Structure 1
Amino acid sequence: MNDRSTAGQIALYVFVAAISLLCIIPFIIILSSSMTRESDILVHGYNFFPRHFDFNAYHFLFQRKNVILNGYKITTLVTLIGTVLSLAICAMIAYPISLRRLKYRRFISGFVLMTLLFNGGMVPWYIINVKYLHLHNNLWALILPSLVNGFNIFLMRNYFASIPEEMHESAKIDGAGELRTLTSIILPLSVPVFASVGLFIGLAYWNDWWLGLMLIDKAELQPLQLLLRTIVSNVDYLANSSVLSTSVDQMVPKEGVKMATTIVTIGPIIFLYPFLQRYFVKGLMMGAVKG
């Protein structure tokens, strides 16, 4: 290896390290601010290291630990069920339209594409979900409206289309039908795209609060993000009240609560990503450029 290539690799490592540091810095600031005394944040702003450690924000949140734990349970259940069902349905749509021998595949692809460009609007969406599909105050209201996404279907379709046609022909010669070909041959070869799309779907379900706001009235069915959003909104309202502002500033660490809610909700995703990271780039690139 010559000096020029070595210098190029060093420059690349430095560049990647700098980008990684830029991604980590916001998380460090949020974590530090969640453990900082409220008066320090108001006077000195956000810092990398707390001037005075203070865990009142977490104490304030976990005074409602039963509510937060229930929100965790609902969100975890919705994320697991929604991700598995969405992957299955998207795969069953993407696989047929990836086959060139399928009749009307262009029409079906165009129909899927149309869902990315147009929607019926909020009012028709709400009427269909509540009046006709009865998705109101039940767990399925947090799952079914987001079950199918055209972008995910196209990623999976393009990845399936990159698998050599000879694989399909050999399976057909051995007597396998389309379902057997999909489950026994295509799916084992498609772990990268399933990991990538599964991460997208899981993040969408985990971070969603809109469906809970629109379709859920029962407090025991509200997802974690909606519960924490409600807590932060209530803290902001009380802290900005002209009557209560002074006393609330002393009792409630408004800025610290905002940072603490971020830390509380981001934890599971941070632990999940390292397991999927080795598949993520490959699946995303293959699904984006092939087909």
Structure 2
Amino acid sequence: MGKNKEAENSASRLNMISGKTNAFFNIVFIVVALMCIIPVVFIFIISISSEQSIKMNGYRFIPEAFSIDSYLFLFREGETIIHALGISILVTVVGTALGVALTTLMGYVLSRSDYKLKGFCTMIVFIPMIFNGGMISSYVVNTQFMHLKDSMWALILPLCVSSFNVIICKTFFKTNIPDSVIESAQIDGASQLTIFGKIAIPLSKPLIATIALFLTFGYWNDWFQSSLYITNTKLFSLQALLDHVQRNIQMMANNPTLGVTMQQYMNSMPKEGARMAMAIIIIVPIACTYPFFQKYFISGLTVGAVKG
């Protein structure tokens, strides 16, 4: 007993962090947190700055004049914003649900040691983590063979499955679902699909939360797929709409061939503030969802990373 206590005390002393080290880590974490928070605060301040103040003095943390014209402009364009928001929500929800289902199924199959094609399929999944066919080949496949252009599926399917996520699922299932449990269920006559649905999934909440958050962030922040495959403005997501505004608003405002009404409308629009206000609208929903999944996200990511 005495030796065990001494060993435990020795281990605890080795794992202790000195006060200086702890203070250093706290400072590092505070700096990193500020690096994440300050840009968002700065964007919000710009969104409530008057357009004239921005033109005269540029971006400032404390503008000379505040204004909510940017948000009033977005409110007037509410139909377009709400439609784009609906597209973003639909793509995120459907893509995340489909991605979680496919990724966990693939990860579970590859985690089973008795699966005959395990080595070959693992290699097939692993290769895209190193290199892929390139953007041109992906574009040709998605448009010419799968006919996804100007389709909602063009925003969903290309991001649905990631090799990295599949490897995380494989590692999680292999290290957290004992073979003895699987064998016991098989003896009782359960199929692999039944085992997956009634045993593996209920024990995998951290994993599902981790994969779901990865996919949610990916779908919510994506604008690149829209720039490749979408020409119909009715299918623009909120992020694609922001990108479209970002690239074209200045061109429209300076184009002398536009009609007087359109020219006056563009000149009166709070250009910089509207961009930042739309960015805030994009940031807030996804930022509000993260705290609800933080516990599962951290534990699931840790398991996949440490034991992989």
- TM bracket (short chain): 0.7 to 0.9
**Number of equivalenced pairs:** 290
Is contact 1:34–1:257 with CA below 8 Å preserved after alignment?
yes
Shift of 1:112: 0.7
Unpaired runs of 5+ residues, structure 1, are none
1:73-152 → structure 2 map (5 Å cutoff)? 73-152=86-165
Aligned to 1:278: 295
Does residue 216 (structure 1) correspond to residue 230 (structure 2)? The answer is yes
Does residue 230 (structure 1) correspond to residue 247 (structure 2)? The answer is no
Task: Spell out, residue by residue over 1:77-101, the C-alpha distance to the aligned partner (whole angstroms, 9 max, x if none).
Answer: 1110110001101111111111222
Does residue 172 (structure 1) correspond to residue 172 (structure 2)? The answer is no
Shift of 1:238: 3.9
Aligned to 2:208: 194
Letter matched to residue 243 of structure 2: R
Aligned to 1:252: 269
Shift of 1:116: 2.3
Structure 1 residues 49 and 175: alpha-carbon distance in aligned structure 2, compared to 1, 3 A threshold: farther
Q: Residues of 1 paired with 2:304 and 2:256: CA distance?
A: 54
Q: Residues of 2 paired with 1:135 and 1:243: CA distance?
A: 35
Letter matched to residue 290 of structure 1: K
Is contact 2:245–2:275 with CA below 8 Å preserved after alignment?
no
Unpaired runs of 5+ residues, structure 2, are 1-16
Q: Residues of 2 paired with 1:106 and 1:117: CA distance?
A: 17
- Structure number, greater radius of gyration: 2
Q: Residues of 2 paired with 1:219 and 1:188: CA distance?
A: 41
Letter matched to residue 98 of structure 1: S
Shift of 1:240: 6.0
Structure 1 residues 75 and 87: alpha-carbon distance in aligned structure 2, compared to 1, 3 A threshold: same
Structure 1 residues 242 and 288: alpha-carbon distance in aligned structure 2, compared to 1, 3 A threshold: farther
Shift of 1:248: 8.5
Letter matched to residue 109 of structure 1: T
Letter matched to residue 280 of structure 1: F
Structure 1 residues 289 and 106: alpha-carbon distance in aligned structure 2, compared to 1, 3 A threshold: farther
Letter matched to residue 225 of structure 1: Q
Three-state SS of the structure 2 residue aligned to 1:95 is: helix
Q: Residues of 2 paired with 1:198 and 1:211: CA distance?
A: 19
User: Alignment RMSD, CA only?
Assistant: 2.8
Q: Which one of the candidate residues 218, 221, 224 is aligned to 1:207? A: 221
Shift of 1:255: 2.3
Does residue 290 (structure 1) correspond to residue 307 (structure 2)? The answer is yes
Shift of 1:73: 0.8
Shift of 1:207: 1.4
Q: Residues of 1 paired with 2:111 and 2:23: CA distance?
A: 41
Identity %: 37
Shift of 1:232: 2.1
Is contact 2:253–2:267 with CA below 8 Å preserved after alignment?
no
Q: TM-score, normalization: structure 2?
A: 0.83
Q: TM-score, normalization: structure 1?
A: 0.88
Shift of 1:8: 6.3
Q: Which one of the candidate residues 56, 63, 87 is aligned to 2:76? A: 63
Q: Residues of 1 paired with 2:142 and 2:43: CA distance?
A: 37
Task: Spell out, residue by residue over 1:93-118, the C-alpha distance to the aligned partner (whole angstroms, 9 max, x if none).
Answer: 11111122221212111101112223
Aligned to 1:268: 285
Is contact 1:239–1:254 with CA below 8 Å preserved after alignment?
no
Shift of 1:273: 0.5
Is contact 1:97–1:157 with CA below 8 Å preserved after alignment?
yes
Does residue 184 (structure 1) correspond to residue 184 (structure 2)? The answer is no
Letter matched to residue 170 of structure 1: S
Three-state SS of the structure 1 residue aligned to 2:201 is: helix
Is contact 1:238–1:248 with CA below 8 Å preserved after alignment?
no
Shift of 1:275: 0.7
Q: Residues of 1 paired with 2:60 and 2:198: CA distance?
A: 53
Q: Which one of the candidate residues 32, 37, 42 is aligned to 1:29? A: 42
Is contact 2:242–2:278 with CA below 8 Å preserved after alignment?
yes
